[in-house]
Amino acid sequence: MLETVGVAAAEEEVYRVLLTAPGSTVATLAEQIGRPPDEIARSVDELESLGLLTRRSDQLMPARPDVAIGVLIARQRAELDKVQAEAQTMLSEVRAHERYRPENLVEVIIGQEAIAARFAQLLEGTERELLVLDRPPYAAGADKSDRTVRSLMRDGVTVRGIYSPDSLEQPGGVDEVFSAADAGETSRVHPQVPMKLAVFDTTAALLPLSVDQLVDSALVVHPCALLDALIEMFSLLWDQAVPIVTSTPGDQLDARMMTLLAAGFKDDAIARQLTLSSRTVGRRVAELMDLLGARTRFQAGVHAQRRRLLDDSGH
């Protein structure tokens, strides 16, 4: 488990045993683990150099895992940052006409497993901002990428998502979208999301080659005019979309209702999503439209946004 941060399996075994028996000596560790004392001593020396244990005479005390391993992770990140900076330096040494050759600007990824692996790689390398256009159909195994996205948000990465009405119509779709908003995603809904798209730090985009079907091919677009156009398209859709936001318990139902209205849902569909009767929905929609002075459902969503019934915290 710890090999990724530079701790070999033999050293990790000693460290884990020491966590359960702090104060052990080299001799007692050798007896408990079943390895020669000289091997244990070498592992102890390595663990000490990594900051995973300290010595008190002949007793060995393990460092707290969250602190010590956190230091190792930070050290590794710093090294990776240096490598990434060097890669940018190397890129600047590539001649412009070579850098902008088509095969260097667009990757064609074949196969669902390869697409999922490339998506995960791009996702894990995102440091500042993730932009997503979301619409069905969905590939299996999306839970792992959802967990990664939420981890990115905890690390301070800005995530902006635009959902199609079809996304909300999926089983559990409304709950999932609002759950993402609760987790920190800045989300909006647009009645016409033209494609699936993910943009990572404005330096790469991933998009499938089919809009309405799951296919075994996708494109990764690197910095070029096409990537600029995809980002501009996202920005235009964002400006037109209606927020999906968290809300206080007192107005949560109205917030969801206005979001679904702006997404183009009819009363019956809203009633199914919110587990209400169509009559209740119709009555409340009429009340809200009257309150907001709106003539259309979409206008009601926009007015609700301005009145902070739907508020996306200034985004």
Phi–psi pair at 155, nearest 5 degrees: -85, 5
Q: Which of 48, 56, 50, 60 is CA-nearest to residue 19?
A: 60
- pLDDT of the residue at 96: 56
Q: What b/e string do you get for 285-311 counting C-beta neighbours within 10 Å, with b at 16 or more? A: beebbeebebeebeebbbbbbeeebbb
Q: What is the pLDDT of residues 49-97, one digit of tens each?
A: 888 888 888 889 988 888 888 888 888 888 877 887 777 677 666 655 5
How far apart, in whole angstroms, are the C-alpha atoms of residue 50 and residue 71? Answer: 9
Q: What is the pLDDT of residues 181-229, one digit of tens each?
A: 878 888 888 888 988 999 999 999 999 887 776 668 889 999 888 999 9
What's the average model confidence in pLDDT over 248-252?
57
Amino acid at 68: A
Domains and CATH numbers, the chain: 1-93 (1.10.10.10), 108-244 (3.30.870.10), 252-306 (1.10.10.10)
Beta carbons within 8 Å of 158's beta carbon, 6+ residues apart: 128, 129, 130, 186
Q: What is the pTM of this model?
A: 0.60
Instruction: With cut-offs at 50, 70 and 90, classify the pLDDT of residue 266.
Output: confident
Q: Which of 27-36, 74-83, 243-252, 269-278 has the highest mean pLDDT?
A: 27-36
- pLDDT of the residue at 159: 93
Assess contact for 258 and 288: CB atoms under 8 A.
yes
